[in-house]
Structure 1
Amino acid sequence: MEQFSVRSGSPAQTALIGAALADALRPGDIVLLSGDLAAGKTTFVKAVAEALGSTDPVTSPTFALAQFYSARSRILHVDSYRLADVEEYRDLGLAEYQDEVISLIEWGEKIAGEFPCHLAISFVATDETDGRSLTFASSCDRWTGALGDLHAAISKDTNGAHARDRIVID
């Protein structure tokens, strides 16, 4: 499994990380986001959507379960929090769109077995105010080189930033 972690100290830094990922995404990609409530998952999805050119309002689809956003590549935003199991996800009928959209799934760990090839991003709050640690991981061939490219892109995006604004890569 290939993986790396970054530490974000603010929502703005989380948005920079999301924008860097957006450059690597293509239709058919599945990104599973995990983390506690208010860990930054929806903020991250909003940044990815904006980086892909979406002007649609991005909100957590906790009650709607799924939302589509128009962008250079169409985005499917799913929230699995209220789903009891994978069967409930299957009943939504979203699998028919998977090859045509970029899927960003909050609470994705609940249905990870449904997606043999996916990028997992876990969000963990740190002790600092608004701080988050994001760990990117995948064991799928699609992400083998892409994770290295993403790591380099995040490093480049913050290389010239003031020390307090730099994203720390672990």
Structure 2
Amino acid sequence: MEPLVFEYKSSSMEETVSLAKRLGGMLEPGDVITLEGDLGAGKTTFTKGLAQGLGIKRMVNSPTFTIIKEYHGRLPLYHMDVYRVTNESEDLGFDEYFEGEGVTVVEWAHLIRDQLPENRLEIQLNHEPNGGRRILFKPKGFRYERLCEEFFYEDLGN
């Protein structure tokens, strides 16, 4: 069976934030979102929108030098940037966040693939020639398949 993939084309940073904000409003405790894409593709911008959807008022920025930043809103947001993790097998306690009461967002998630939970929503952000972004949603597990179906069917007005 082919894996489900949902695609969205964003023409601006504001549109990406708005898309992520709507998704943030649908998230539940324990949800895990992974973000992949080249430098400048919009991973942190997407996370800012998720934070808005979770009711977080603080400014969200990349946790590049601290690995994990926590924010508090309707649900806690655990924002991880694992770009600088040098040993994938090193136990940094990520599972405590993945199984926690908040939403976990992991930038550069492929660098800790073996530590990620099996069920998660993988999001790939790619540059488009016109300056926009192509955003692919790849749900892993029933919860995320239903979430994407609800999100995209509602978005399309169906």
Q: Which residue of 2 aligns with 1:85?
A: 87
| Match in the other structure for 1:167 | none
What TM-score does the superposition give when structure 1 sets the normalisation length? Answer: 0.85
CA distance in 2, matches of 1:152, 1:48: 19
The unaligned stretches of length 5 or more in structure 1 are 160-170
Equivalent residues in 2 for 1:34-73 (5 A)?
34-73=36-75
Moved more, 106-115 or 39-48: 106-115
Number of equivalent positions: 154
Distance 1:113 1:29 in 2: 17
Q: Quick one: which amino acid aligns to residue 97 of structure 1?
A: Y
Aligned equivalent of 1:24:
26
Taking structure 2 as the reference length, what is the TM-score of the superposition?
0.91
Q: Secondary structure at the match of 2:156?
A: helix
Counterparts of 1:26 and 1:84 in 2: how far apart (Å)?
A: 30
1:95 pairs with 2:95: yes
Task: Name the structure 2 match of 1:152.
Answer: 153
Kept in 2: contact 1:20–1:153 (CA 8 A) = no
Q: Is the 8 A contact 1:5 1:133 kept in 2?
A: yes
Contact kept in structure 2, 1:2 and 1:147, CA below 8 Å: no
Structure 2 unmatched ranges of 5 or more: none
Kindly indicate whether the alpha-carbon contact (under 8 Å) linking 2:126 and 2:135 is maintained by their aligned counterparts in 1.
yes
Q: Of the two structures, which has the highest relative contact order with CA contacts closer than 8 Å and spacing of 6 or more? A: 1
Higher relative helix content: 1
- 1:5 alignment partner, SS class: strand
